[in-house]
Amino acid sequence: METSEASIDEAVWTFPGARAPDRRRWVDASGLRLAVYEWGEPDATPLLLVHGALDFARTFDGFAPLLADAGYRVVSYDHRGHGDSDHADLYNWVADVRDMLAVADSITREPCLAVGHSKGGSLLVQAIQALPHRFIRFASIDGLPFRSPHADSAVRERKSSLTGPVIARWLDARRRSGELERRPGTLEELAQRRARMNPRLSHEWLCYIASHGARRDEQGWRWKLDPAIGVGGFGPMRVRWMTDRLPGFPIPMLAIFGSEKEPMGWDATADDLMPFFPATTEVHRMQDVGHFIHIERPQETARRILQFFGA
């Protein structure tokens, strides 16, 4: 429950099992400042933990401590335009990959362990395929997109047929993006809005993450997420960029899948991707769980990942 509002930046809202990071620092990514958070001893084995789209690192407050308590230095960060990281003039997939590598370089130059949820998993897939010497093992928490083999071509055909008015609306939206603001409200109202995308998560948890993912001004609380970012706001991404290369994935991977579809999920099942996995991939299915597996079942998710990492 909410116990006080002692600070203009943060409400004291607690949740069972959630623990704030032990340390916070900043990383410069080509002039953009990224907020970085760490759980665990600073000299422990490093583990990079990457969140998904429209999320932020503090959504790992109930999950990261479980990995840290097993002996890891767990490092996460807010993507550009998310959480406390700087907003950018433009958002795209390649910039997100470069930001992630800047954080990884700030942790260690040795091969490291990595865990990614949703978009964070897909970013890691691309980075690992490009720079396999930087990573040793990878766990994906519903982080592998998939659509039918014809989906990408259909998207290209639709985009090629865009009319002038559609393009003009997109350009107008880009032009106004610097003037946009997130709608204010109470923390509970922000939690209720988030529940439309996360219907399986409890109201108490959504209030907790709102207290860390929003800031307050004279009109109320607003999500810190850059208003210019939408559901498709991180640039072009083709599923085939991943699936065509997945059979040759260079390091051992644990792929964790839930069973229930959600508005923010990839809608990818283990059966969809089984034909693409190399022999070094371990697949773990969890029943009666949605896209946010590590929030619904933090203990079970952490236990399976720790087993895979050999802890």
**Residues 157, 51: Cα–Cα separation, whole Å:** 31
Q: What is the pLDDT of residue 230?
A: 67
pLDDT at 232: 47
Report, as ranges of residue numbers, the positions in the chain whose pLDDT lies below 70: 1-12, 147-167, 169-170, 173-174, 177-178, 230-238, 311
Range of the domain at 44: 2-158+231-309
State pTM to two decimals.
0.89
Alpha carbons 38 and 133: distance in angstroms, whole number: 23
Domain count, the chain: 1
State the burial class of residue 172 (Cβ atoms within 10 Å of its Cβ: 0-12, 13-18, 19+): exposed
Q: What is the pLDDT of residue 109?
A: 95
| Predicted local confidence at residue 163, as pLDDT | 53
Does residue 199 lie in a domain region?
no
203 lies in a domain?
A: no
Domain annotation covers residue 182 = no
Give domain status of residue 194, yes or no.
no
Residue 166: the pLDDT is: 61
- At 214, is the secondary structure helix, strand, or coil? strand
Nearest to 122 by CA among 98, 142, 99: 142
CATH of the domain at 240: 3.40.50.1820
Residue 94 lies in a domain: yes
181 DSSP assignment: -
Residue 149 in domain: yes
Q: Does 198 map to a domain?
A: no
Task: Give the DSSP letter string of 63-123.
Answer: THHHHHTTTEEEEEEPPTTSTTSPP-S---HHHHHHHHHHHHHHH-SS-EEEEEETHHHHH
